[in-house]
Amino acid sequence: MPTTAGAPAGGDTPPVRRRVPPRLSFSLLKTTMAVTGTVMAAFVVVHMVGNLKALLGPESFNGYAAWLRELGYPLLPHEGLLWILRVVLAGCLAAHVAAGLTLWRRARRSGGAVSGGRRMRVRTTGARSMVLTGGLLLVFVAVHVLDLTIGRLVAPQGFLAPAGTGQVHAYENLVASLSRPVMAAFYSLVMLTLGLHLAQGLWSVVHDLGGTGARLRRTVLIIALAVAASVALVNGMLPLLVLTGRIP
């Protein structure tokens, strides 16, 4: 019996071709890094400004924390806007880490070639240590959330208010946390790491988004260094102020 034209003889089943997911482009990954990194950097700056209220005492700092929980009410539920911001930041963090690790793995597999056979020249300490500093910052985020946002590591001090009571003890949690020398040293170390990561990351944004021009790059460099130095200095001084009793 003759076989059908185009069909394999002997009744052999043709091989099934697996569909390979499309590979994300280099430019898309870099754009993702730039956009999500900028969003998180903006949050860090706002968070730093809020931390300055600790210098004004518990009433000011706790009032600021309570205001954040009521922001958007009654249009939104209590803590509604705060949870929206948390979800956005969590999404940015996940996308940032995923894109960064993808680029890092591709560079390692190709011996440094990242796009079209081009090699990425890594000249600065910040650029060479981005994966390392990023990993340390991820650890810090987990510790920071457990310690101050949820209060699990500070809960034995009795400062964590029950949910729904309207009571906020953010100032007391901050002092209880940073009064421990180990936590204070860890916090200060991470702030230096964050400054290094921010300086390199914000400087890279202009390249990742295709910015050109010497003046633009100089401007972005100045902004990146100013933001990084401010965050490292302002946040980094909090443990010292707590340990010396300036923030009792």
Predicted confidence (pLDDT) per residue in 75-127, tens digit = 999 889 999 999 999 999 999 999 999 998 988 887 654 444 444 444 566 67
For the segment 146-154, the average pLDDT, to the nearest whole number, is 75
Q: Which fold has domain 27-113+123-243?
A: 3 helical TM bundles of succinate and fumarate reductases (1.20.1300)
- pLDDT for 8-39, tens place per residue? 555 556 555 555 455 678 889 999 999 999 99
Confidence class for position 225, pLDDT limits 50, 70, 90 = very high
Cα–Cα distance for residue pair 56/78, rounded to 1 Å: 26
- pLDDT for 201-216, tens place per residue? 999 998 888 888 889 9
pLDDT of residue 214: 87
pTM above 0.85, yes or no: no
Predicted confidence (pLDDT) at residue 161 exceeds the cutoff of 60: no
In contact, 218 and 212? CB cutoff 8 Å = no
Gyration radius of the chain's alpha carbons: 24
pLDDT of residue 23: 64
Cα–Cα distance for residue pair 64/67, rounded to 1 Å: 5
Closest C-alpha to 170, from 53, 76, 78: 53
pLDDT of residue 210: 84
**Residue % of the chain over a pLDDT of 90:** 54
Coil/strand/helix, residue 114: strand
Segments of the chain assigned E as strands: 113-115, 118-119
For the segment 182-188, the average pLDDT, to the nearest whole number, is 94
pLDDT of residue 115: 45
